Amino acid sequence: MGKSSALKKNCTDLSFEENCLGRFLKEYGRADKTRAGKMMVAVGKTMGYSGQQRLAIRVPLVRLYQEVETFRQRAIEDTHWTVSATCQFRCFIVEICGIFLC
Q: Write out pLDDT tens, residues 3-47.
A: 778 888 888 899 999 999 999 999 999 998 899 999 999 999 999
DSSP conformation class of 16 = H
- Counting the structural domains of the chain, the total is 1
HSE, side-chain direction, 13 A CA sphere, residue 86: 6
Task: Give the Cα separation of 72 and 66 in Å (integer).
Answer: 10
* Predicted pLDDT of residue 19: 93
- Residue partners of 14: CB distance under 8 A and separation at least 6: 51, 54
Burial of 8: CB neighbours in 10 Å, binned 0-12, 13-18, 19+: middle
Separation of CA 34 from chain center = 41
pLDDT, tens only, 48-74:
999 999 889 888 888 998 899 999 999
Q: Choose the weakest-confidence range: 13-17, 90-94, 97-101.
A: 97-101
Range of the domain at 12: 3-101
What's the pLDDT at 58?
87
Residue 29, judged by CB atoms within 10 A of its CB (0-12, 13-18, 19+), counts as: buried
